[in-house]
Amino acid sequence: MSGDPSDHDGQPPALRYDQRPADHTPIHTEALPATPTRDRNIVATAWIEAPEQLLTLGDDLPDRPEAEYKRRIGSWLLWRAGPAAGGDARYWAGRAEDLTMQHTFRLFPDNTGDGEGPSGRRHAKFRSWKEDLLGR
């Protein structure tokens, strides 16, 4: 590594989530990456198999944000509509092999939250909701 901030082993530089351009390129479920994309945001309308619940995830939030893909968590696909912190947001997780299995987590501006995980337990913290997705 040369120390040059533009030197990223051929990878584009990581951008803050709110600075990444929207990627509307059509994509199938199997092509959604396991780890977060750091140079763009894959939007829900680009996902060919996107369920209706995901396409309308941010409809009741301020400015009606479109959901953006975040990553895989185990066999779950994680998407978010709204900001990562300090605002109204909602996360959606769908099981990649059965998209009828869906769970949401609502994140409020004061960083409190509410969502039911696959275990049937309610969660007030995003971290515990994500752990529930992993069966912990």
pLDDT at 66: 97
CA torsion through residues 120, 71, 98, 94, sign: positive
pLDDT at 4: 43
User: DSSP string spanning the chain?
Assistant: --S-TT-STTPPPP--GGGSPEE---B-GGGS-SS--SS-EEBGGGBTT--HHHHTTTTTSTT-PPPEEEEEETTEEEEEES-SSSS-EEEEEEETTEEEEEEEEEE-TTS-EEEE-TTS-EESSHHHHHHHHTT-
One pLDDT digit (tens) per residue for the chain, 136 residues = 344 444 445 666 787 778 889 999 999 999 999 999 988 999 999 999 999 999 999 999 999 999 999 999 999 999 999 998 889 999 999 999 999 999 999 999 998 999 999 999 999 999 999 999 999 8
How many domains does the chain contain in total? Answer: 1
Q: Report if residue 32 sits inside a domain.
A: yes
Q: Report if residue 58 sits inside a domain.
A: yes
| pTM across the whole model | 0.87
pLDDT at 86: 87
Q: Report if residue 73 sits inside a domain.
A: yes
Q: Report if residue 1 sits inside a domain.
A: no
Q: Report if residue 38 sits inside a domain.
A: yes
Find the domain containing 126 and state its range.
17-133
Place of tokens 């709204």: 82
pLDDT at 14: 80
